[in-house]
Amino acid sequence: MTTNFSASLRKKLATAPLIVTLGLLAACGNDEKTPPPVSEAPAPMPSPTPSPAPSPTSFDVGPCLNQVVPGTGGVTVAGAVVPDTLTLNLAANAGFPNGRRLPDPVIDVTLAVIFLDLSTNGPGTLAGLPLNPARNDVPFPAGFPFLAPAQGTQVLTSPGSGFAFRSDAASAYTRVDRMGMPAVSTALIGSAQKNAYNDANPADDANGDFVPELSAQLTGLTNALADDLVGAGLTPCARPL
């Protein structure tokens, strides 16, 4: 069967594909209807391998214990703290650790003696740092009792000295701390041993009862402080193992 179309209808049918094509192109060019292009995620960068932590350095404190303390007539550091007594050598210069004068910076000297190479840094190295007052605020008298009068207003409830001195026997008292070389019990005896140390006597020290404790504490402190001492321009007496 043959179908005849008019000339005008044939023209419309011929142009229909072109109109559809143009409509599709217009839709593609419309920004409001076109989805944004999909961007590819960048490839992940590999994380750098962290540097391993430096291994802690341990030190041998033997050279510290064996060095001679200047001004003591040949006493070594070990001999100054074992037994824990404050000695006085009349043939050597007065001043801590040979005796103890009121203005002596005993803690600074003790720390310098146990941590520093005394052939490079003397016992007064730490005491010479500008951290301590240069002198007492009130001068010490030249005669007994060598201490200046108390500052402020002293209130006395009755005439006399204001003090009641006890005369009990020694057995009536309990020792709570040793009064030996300054800082030995404080710095070189660990918490677990403090009571036993304070209850002991210098004879126990001389017997070597606390030598392992003293050595262990000094080693631990040196391991922790050696890099700080070097950073401050000081020379530790301990040697790396």
34 lies in a domain?
Answer: no
Q: What is the band of 204 on the pLDDT scale with cuts at 50, 70, 90?
A: very high
CB atoms within 10 A of CB 104: 18
| pLDDT higher than 50, residue 60 | yes
SS3 letters across 136-175: CCCCCCCCCCCCCCCCCCCCCCCCCCCCCCCCCCHHHCCC
pLDDT at 55: 56
| pLDDT higher than 50, residue 68 | yes
CB 127 within 8 A of CB 106: no
146 lies in a domain?
Answer: no
pLDDT at 215: 94
112 lies in a domain?
Answer: yes
| pLDDT higher than 50, residue 133 | yes
Q: How many domains does the chain have?
A: 1
143 lies in a domain?
Answer: no
219 lies in a domain?
Answer: yes
144 lies in a domain?
Answer: no
Q: Structural domain of residue 97, as residue ranges?
A: 59-130+176-240
18 lies in a domain?
Answer: no
pLDDT at 39: 58
- Percentage, residues of the chain above pLDDT 70: 73
pLDDT at 12: 46
| pLDDT higher than 90, residue 8 | no
pLDDT at 28: 47
The pLDDT tens digits for 159-176 are 655 667 788 998 998 888
Q: What is the pTM of this model?
A: 0.67
164 lies in a domain?
Answer: no
| pLDDT higher than 50, residue 190 | yes
The pLDDT tens digits for 80-99 are 899 999 888 888 888 888 88
Partnered with residue 236 across adjacent β-strands are: 116
Identity of the amino acid at 11: K
